A and B are shown apart, each in its own frame.
Chain A
Amino acid sequence: GNSVTQMEGPVTLSEEAFLTINCTYTATGYPSLFWYVQYPGEGLQLLLKATKADDKGSNKGFEATYRKETTSFHLEKGSVQVSDSAVYFCAPRDDYKLSFGAGTTVTVRA
């Protein structure tokens, strides 16, 4: 099965700062890769995804590139906002199973 190593938090940033959350995975096959976000008091939402090597997923100013050679899918955003405060989960998916990393709590201060 898949496993995920995700950068530990919590991460605290000021508005307009650059955010990066590292994620590496191990997989027996060729997984699709996802980032999910969980805002306070809400369920998990898909942030972005990439399904093959060198694909770049992007949404809401966030980006992540599928790096097969380094088995990584790091999440980046150039200028964070207070509304980006949330828990971020890296998640590879094989045939049926979505496996989550431990989650990184991000707090953005005004």
Chain B
Amino acid sequence: QKEVEQNSGPLSVPEGAIASLNCTYSDRGSQSFFWYRQYSGKSPELIMSIYSNGDKEDGRFTAQLNKASQYVSLLIRDSQPSDSATYLCAGFSGGYNKLIFGAGTRLAVHP
């Protein structure tokens, strides 16, 4: 069983729409979660971190964490073509040393 799971996509949304990216995790002890954006040929770039239940907003990005459901999501409002990338969800497994990543969801924003 994968410890961090994401739908690989592609998720296609029109420019200006809301993109919703989802992630589930299996380690109930996990407290910290992260969303990374990875453009083709580039290394992952941190865009959001979330440590407690509820929503966390940063500009056009909102991360949501529901520990009871073991669910993390990322909403991108007013999606732009420049948001087209692979989005990786990450969380800790077996304590706070091993950060593991989901398979990533490929997002395509079309004009």
Q: Are both chains from one complex?
A: no
